[in-house]
Amino acid sequence: MKKLLMPLLMCLPLAAMAQNDWEVPSDPVTTTETAKVNPDQKYLAGAVPVVDGKVVFEQTIAAPGKSASQIYDILLNYITRMTQGGNQFDQSRVVVSDAEKHEIVADFLEWLVFTDKALVLDRTRLRYYLIVTCQDGQATAKMTRISYLYEEERDPQNYTAEEWITDKYAMNKKQTKLYRIPGKFRRKTIDRKDFIFSKFEEILK
């Protein structure tokens, strides 16, 4: 009997060590937290709002202590400078500047860059309208009428935001993942919108 038990007793520490080594890399908390991380989370369902069939990004921006006229002047000056930026085409311009109604409308045609590195330049022309309405203490900004001209030198492709970056066209059915090509348009458009609106917030503080 002792001869039978000895081999079993000798194996127990080794078995315990093997089990512990296996459990360390598969810590359930770490694995669960990692699984929840999705770099595209901010770009998924609902990130591209559709109003009456049109993609419309809209944000109301607080401007404490400023009158409608002051806000109008600040934003008109900034938007005018935007139209003259290095990524803009000559067509970019302010098309409406109504000082009485405190309204600004600007038509932008600019480069939206996906990749820019040695031997690889992937970009599209992006067109959109910025519509800004100013009131005492706040401004409402809209980015709409968005369209793209892609691969114009090889195989020109025209897209509207409604047929290209909405939930219906840019995401899988489970709404957990972006499709590769429309997905990159969706990400960069949202990033551009976020940049513009954050600049408005910054200069209106």
Q: Return the half-sphere exposure (C-beta side, CA atoms, 13 A cut-off) of residue 148.
A: 22
Query: Which residues form the domain of 124?
Result: 55-160+183-204
Total structural domains in the chain?
1
- Three-state secondary structure along 20-52? HHHHHHHCHHHHHHHHHCCCCHHHCCCCCCEEC
Residue 154 located in a structural domain: yes
**Residue 131: inside a domain:** yes
Domain-located, residue 63: yes
Separation CA 148–CA 175 (nearest Å): 23
pTM over 0.85, yes/no:
no
Buried b vs exposed e over 34-71: b needs ≥16 C-beta within 10 Å?
A: eeeeeeeeebbeebbeeeeeebbbebebebeebebeeb
The span from the CA of 130 to the CA of 95, in Å, is 10
**Residue 29's pLDDT is what?**
45
Q: Which pLDDT belongs to residue 153?
A: 85
- CB 104 within 8 Å of CB 113: no
Q: Which residue type occupies 124? A: T
CATH number, residue 104: 3.30.530.80
Residue 28, domain member (yes or no): no
- For position 77, what pLDDT does the model report? 98
Extract the residue ranges of the chain whose pLDDT is less than 50.
Answer: 2-35
Tell me how far apart the alpha carbons of residues 93 and 95 are, in angstroms, rounded to a whole number. 6
Residue 196 forms part of a structural domain: yes
Please tell me the predicted confidence (pLDDT) of residue 38: 82
Say how far apart CA 96 and CA 110 lie, in whole Å: 19
Task: Tell whether 199 is covered by a domain.
Answer: yes
What local confidence, expressed as pLDDT, does residue 61 receive?
98
DSSP string, 49-86: -EETTEEEEEEEEE-TT--HHHHHHHHHHHHHHHTTST
What is the model's pLDDT at position 36? 65
User: Does the residue 25 lie in any domain?
Assistant: no
Q: Look up tokens 């409308």; give the residue.
A: 105
Domain assignment of residue 8, yes or no: no
Burial class (CB in 10 A: 0-12, 13-18, 19+), 9: exposed
Provide the pLDDT for residue 7: 46
Dist. CA 86–CA 92, nearest whole Å: 11
CA-CA distance, 75 to 94, in Å (whole number)? 11
